[in-house]
């Protein structure tokens, strides 16, 4: 897996973290992510939208962000600050498989 690709995915994950924790503009939260109510856990899971087109849906931050966020270990998601999240995500090696959205 190329280092450039993993760095791009880490940047996407940092944006997703900011959106979930209210550190980004409000319109991004409305447009991009929908949380799944999951009462037995304290972590946030994101709804993966139905894909209609590869170009506009499969490579969107809404789809890619949900897949990546849901694949992260829980201790990544429960960071208390953005600084801690960036430190921990820098150790992340990327997803274990090579999905289509690597063309970001």
The reported pLDDT for the residue numbered 66 is 84
pTM over 0.85: no
pLDDT tops 90 at residue 5: no
The reported pLDDT for the residue numbered 98 is 55
Q: For 101, what's the count of Cα atoms within 13 Å in the CB-facing half-sphere?
A: 22
The reported pLDDT for the residue numbered 103 is 46
Which residues have C-beta within 8 Å of that of residue 36, sequence separation ≥ 6? 45, 46, 47
Q: What is the mean pLDDT of residues 27-53?
A: 70
What integer best gives the mean pLDDT of the chain?
A: 78
- How distant, in Å, are the alpha carbons of 77, 79, 86 from that of 57? 24, 29, 27
């Amino acid at each position: 897996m190329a280092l450039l690709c993993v760095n791009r995915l880490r940047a996407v994950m940092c944006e997703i973290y900011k959106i979930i924790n209210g550190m980004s503009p409000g319109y991004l939260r409305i447009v991009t992510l929908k949380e799944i109510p999951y009462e037995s856990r304290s972590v946030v899971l994101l709804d993966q939208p139905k894909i209609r087109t590869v170009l506009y849906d499969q490579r969107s931050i809404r789809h890619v962000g949900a897949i990546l966020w849901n694949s992260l270990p829980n201790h990544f998601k429960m960071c208390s600050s953005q600084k801690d999240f960036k430190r921990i995500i820098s150790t992340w090696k990327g997803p274990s498989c090579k999905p289509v959205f690597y063309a970001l």
